[in-house]
Every structure is written in C-alpha cells, then in structure tokens.
Structure 1
C-alpha cells in the first residue's frame, strides 16, 4: 500500500506543477486582454476567460457568446462556443474532454 500512496503523491505533485505551468503561460498571454487566471478550476467555468485566451492566441474574434453569463446553461454555451471555434476555425481536434466523475 505504501507504493500506491507514494505514486498518488507523486501524481498530485506532477498535476500541481502542470497546473501552475499552464496558469503562468495563460496569464502571460491574457495580459494582452487585461485578464488574469487565479484558479483553473473556477476562472474558466463561465467560458469568458477561455474565449479571451483563444482570441489572443488566434488573433480572431469569437462568434456571438454571452458576455455576462449568469445561468449554468449560458456558461456551458460559452465553453461550447470556444471548443467549437477551436475545432472548426483552428482545426484543433478536441479529445478526451469529459465532466468530472
């Protein structure tokens, strides 16, 4: 059991490193949009920061989306708009995206 616990601890540390690395990278690009990510788990949930990041990286404006999403359905639609844009307009295949268990 000790080996399993060590593996889980190493995996958690690796995930934290990856999360911190991506957050720093995204914030470097988001400076151009005057936006900032503090937490990947919460700051991307309404799709607005994700849309801003994609706009900065692609140099393109995103299609119509909810600028002030309050309902869960509006937030999900914003994320969907961003992912569809990546697939359709940027030819980026989105795989293995699923909700948390």
Structure 2
C-alpha cells in the first residue's frame, strides 16, 4: 500500500495557509473532517474509483453533497484534487491538516 501522507502534505499546507489568511482555520478543519468522513463511505469510495466517471463529475458530485457545509477553500481543494486525480487523498489531507 502506498503511503499517502507525503502526497497529502503539500495540499494540507496550502489549505491551512489559505484558511489562516482569512482566519477560518477551525471552519476549514470542520469541513475537512466532514469531507474525510464522507470520503470513507463505500458509496464515495466507489465513486472516486469509478473509471467511467470524469474526475470533474466526481468533484461536482462530492461538492453537491456537501454544498451547504463547504466554503470556498474546501470547494476549490476538491476541484484541484479532481483535476490532479488525487481525490483519494482527502482523508490524508485532513490528517495532515490537524
């Protein structure tokens, strides 16, 4: 199994820095916690792994599920992860963020 922490660390640092800039570290931490929990469900794990779906469609679905619970930083992170085919890092990013 590949260790995801080194891959997640730069994303976590960028998210933390963006949250710090606007004084929303705790809010973003809560959003990442929610994202991490959702990302561990069987449905979302299957969604992320589905080769038939575009990564953009997967990101839109995840953001749509949590739209009211997510701010701009978390939304942009999901979009960036999808673009870079790194949606599997959500849980590791949350762990690194803490």
Query: Which structure: larger Rg?
Result: 1
Task: Say which structure is richer in helix.
Answer: 2
Same fold? TM cut 0.5 = no
Q: Which has the higher contact order (CA 8 A, sep 6+)?
A: 2
TM-score calculated relative to the size of structure 2: 0.31
TM-score calculated relative to the size of structure 1: 0.30
